[in-house]
Amino acid sequence: MKKLAVLLIVFAIGFGNQVKADEGMWIPLLINKNIVKMQKLGLKLSTEDIYSVNNSSLKDAIVIFGRGCTGEIISPEGLILTNHHCGYGSIQKVSSPEHNYLDDGFWATSKEEEIPIEGLSVKFLVSMQDVTKETLNGVEEDMSKEDKSATKKDNIKGLIEQATNDTHYSAIVEPMFAGNEYYLFVYETFTDIRLVGTPPESIGKFGADTDNWMWPRHTGDFSMFRVYTGEDGKPAEYSAENMPLKPKHYLPISVSGVKEGDFSMILGNPGRTQRYLSSFGVNLAVNQSNMTIVKIREEKLRIMKEGMDADEAVRLQYASKYAGTANYWKYFIGQTKGLKKLKVKENKEAEEAAFTEWLNNNSHAREKYGNALVYIEEAYDVLEQYNLANWYFREAVYRGSEILKYANSFKNLSALFAEKETPEADIEKEISNLDENISAHFKNYNVDIDRNMFASMILMYHQNVPLDQQPVYLLEMDKKFKGDYGAYADYVFDKSIFDNPNEVKEFLSKPKHKILEKDPAFVAAKTFFESYKDLKAKTKDTYSKLAEGEKLYIAGLREMNPDVNYYPDANFTMRLTYGTVEGYHPSDAVYFNYFTTMDGIIQKEDPGNWEFTVPEKLKQLYNEEDFGAYGDDGVMKVCFLTNHDITGGNSGSPVINGKGELIGLAFDGNWEAMSGDIAFENKIQRTINVDIRYVLFVIDKFAGAKNIIDELTLVKTIPVIKDYAQPDEAELMKGAVVD
């Protein structure tokens, strides 16, 4: 067990005035605007400690993990901590019936045992910069939309080239406040990432779908990976000779625990919010979009579960797909309830009425922003007409049966064949790319599930999308098979090559354009994708009008309220949110405490339900109260709540105390506040975090992975009341008791 560094802190008796937590996902570059509030809440760091380009800072320990999560570096050897559900796909990828790391967990006892994850990458933020002026250089009001767009595009291209020239970095310019501002983000990407440790699902996914988005939670939602580099410390493709990353900064870990009212902050990469969404947008979400997504996903989950329950190997294949589908199925149910309960549409209407009144009393503002709400309302009138076709394509076709999306991946090959003078080398390159993807696609593919998925999804599409917006081809198939979509699915799967890896490989060995063009899965995919392309063309101008309306509206709001510190919507760039550890009242006469313990795990145990099974060793440790250095007066705390403002993409984000130490790992939001992506509600919106002490307990006492513990920097703070009869602080430091 690594020694704990012990810090002795003398606390004054009594508390200052309560400071309300701050809503917002703040750009770290501009956190100086919030620093006074943060320090009143308990922050001990400076803005430079949080974000700095020239010196090591907290931002250097934060990574974009994979394509949709956050992770943090927690050791001087590039060890990454993130959520179990963020690492789930990678863990599943390297699992097999013989080595089922989802069921059994995995712990490397040495770096040689760490497992490379093909295709996994992490990104470090090198720098961010406000480039609004540079992006809009040369953009004039009297320009056409096309010329404005082209000018901005050229400016952005130049900014990216300038930022990445002669480096191995990548960069992106992201619009903020609906295009009123622009920021440049420069990244360093590493691709040699290896699995170090993961608890079994019975810990990392305890409660599964039943507990998802719910409090109280008892989930050890974490997994661990490591970043490797070339000998020069720069990114490199996998090689046995690569070395663990030497990070610019890593997070020390506090084992002191948290108490209600403690300051905490989260640095991460929230995916997408719509805090400036209009009442018209909320109305469409509540009355059509959300219920459509829920309806389609509910059917997809039923079909997958039916196949998974019948075969353990299939369950392993589809575990990640099922989890991903279920997550936002439940989310949209909760969001709809939250939007209605909190009267978000009505609140938005009140905000818009205040905006309109301001315009009516301000001729200058009316001239600038008078069309904002007009454009938005007109746009939604049109979008509503095509909304069902949009969502049924996205959920039932694009994310529906895999045979369609896979067949569509051959469209480039078809286009190359169709061109009369295509160089043979181009065709061979495309064939090679498709050939390389065969094993990856079919590794987690079950033809029976996909056949059932096709029949059900296409039937739902036909039943719910307006007939005049459906492809003529589908109407012909409906007539041909007399509305029997099971028979239609049998026809497609019996005649297509795209449900069988051997047939695909055979085709690519001797590809013929006629075979591809006559394949029923390819024909169906081509038809649906072209239909969606046509839909996008019909709504292109409408979306442009909506974007212009939203840009004007947000600019107007900021001018109307010049003293308000507005924050931009999340867009999967680094943000900071801060607040306190805090419970909440979900409803009348009900209070939820801010933490849970292992008592809840035992109380929830149900050996007959895989979601609530408890490993025997975990029960033994509980019964013996063998919590090591991680217990709290004989209690093992598992999760805790904070009032942070987060969303998807924040999964895996570090929860950090006022001294920059890791105290937990964010993994979920609470059910009562699922409207949070659109409207933050301070009284009930909470972030659910796994306590870092439970993470350490699982690694140390449950898994026995002491090699991992030895790699960490663990810090314990002992609160001491100032007593002048005691020795001074220096003497106390000398006599500190080491746990």
Say yes or no: 626 and 681 in one domain: yes
| CA neighbor of 578 nearest in space, from 639, 656, 490 | 656
Summary mean pLDDT of the chain: 93
Pick the closest to residue 10 from 730, 739, 715 (CA basis).
730
560 domain-assigned: no
Mean pLDDT across 441-454: 96
**Does residue 693 lie in a domain region?**
yes
pLDDT reading at 344 higher than 70: yes
Residue 421: the pLDDT is 86
Positive or negative, the CA dihedral 13, 17, 22, 28 is negative
Q: What is the mean pLDDT of residues 235-257?
A: 97
**Domain membership flag for residue 373:** yes
598-607: average pLDDT: 97
Averaged pLDDT, 663-683? 94
Please report whether residue 561 resides in a domain: no
Residue 342 pLDDT: 92
Q: Residue 738 pLDDT more than 80?
A: no
Structure tokens at 647: 């969303």
The pLDDT value recorded for residue 183 is: 98
Domain match, 358 and 453 both: yes
Q: In angstroms, rounded to a whole number, what is the distance separating the alpha carbons of residues 485 and 452? A: 9
Q: For the whole model, what pTM was predicted?
A: 0.88
Q: Can you say whether the dihedral through the CA atoms of 621, 627, 633, 635 is positive or negative?
A: negative
> Residue 10 — very low, low, confident or very high, per pLDDT cuts 50/70/90?
very low
Residue 265's CB is within 10 A of a number of other CB atoms, namely 28
Structural domain contains residue 575: yes
Q: List b or e across 453-469, with b for residues whose CB sees 16 or more CB atoms inside 10 angstroms.
A: bbbbbbbbbbebbeeeb
**CA angle (290, 292, 294) in 5-degree steps:** 70
Give yes or no: residues 498 and 540 share one domain: yes
Residue 719: which pLDDT band, with cuts at 50, 70 and 90?
low
Provide the pLDDT confidence category of residue 718 given band limits of 50, 70 and 90: low
Is residue 732 scored above 60 in pLDDT? no
pLDDT tens per residue, range 263-308: 999 999 999 999 999 999 999 999 999 999 999 999 999 999 999 9
pLDDT digits (tens, 9 = 90+) for 551-572: 999 999 999 999 999 999 999 9
With a cut of 90, say whether residue 731 has pLDDT above it.
Answer: no
Domain-terminating residue out of 528, 555, 582: 555
Q: How many domains does the chain have?
A: 3
Same domain, yes or no, for 658 and 723? yes
Domain range for 151 is: 125-189
151 in the same domain as 9 = no
94 falls within a domain: yes
Question: Using one digit for the tens of pLDDT, what is the confidence trace for 269-280?
Answer: 999 999 999 999
pLDDT reported for residue 666: 98
Statement: residue 9 has pLDDT above 70: no
Arithmetic mean of pLDDT, 523-541:
96
pLDDT value at residue 492: 98
pLDDT given for residue 735 in this prediction: 27
Same domain, 545 and 590: no
Q: Do residue 207 and residue 317 come from a single domain?
A: no
Q: What is the pLDDT of residues 121-167, one digit of tens each?
A: 999 999 999 999 999 999 998 999 899 999 999 999 999 999 999 99
User: Is 563 part of any domain?
Assistant: no
Single residue among 149, 166, 189 that ends a domain in this structure: 189
Q: What is the pLDDT of residue 723?
A: 40
Is the domain of 328 the same as that of 456?
A: yes
- Say if residue 721's pLDDT is above 90: no
Pair (212, 240) in one structural domain? yes
Does the structure show a pLDDT above 80 at 465?
A: yes
List pLDDT tens digits, range 377-432.
999 999 999 999 999 999 999 999 999 999 999 999 999 999 988 899 999 999 99
Q: What is the CA radius of gyration of the chain?
A: 27
Asked whether residue 626 falls in the same domain as residue 711, the answer is yes
pLDDT higher than threshold 80 for residue 506 = yes
Domain assignment of residue 256, yes or no:
yes
Known catalytic residues? 85, 221, 651
Cβ(72)–Cβ(221) under 8 Å?
Answer: no
pLDDT at 513 over 90: yes
Alpha-helical segments (H) within 483-519: 485-495, 501-509, 513-518
Residues 265, 314: one domain? no
Q: Which amino acid is at 699?
A: I
pLDDT at 420: 82
> d(Cα 702, Cα 621) in Å, to the nearest integer?
8
Quote the pLDDT of residue 727.
33
How far apart are alpha carbons 558 and 536 in whole angstroms? 31
pLDDT, position 290: 96
- Percent of the chain at pLDDT exceeding 90: 90
Q: What is the CATH number of the domain that holds 91?
A: 2.40.10.120
Is 382 in the same domain as 474? yes
Q: Exposed, middle or buried: residue 195 (CB in 10 Å: 0-12, 13-18, 19+)?
A: buried
CB atoms within 10 A of CB 620: 11
Last residue of a domain, one of 158, 189, 220: 189
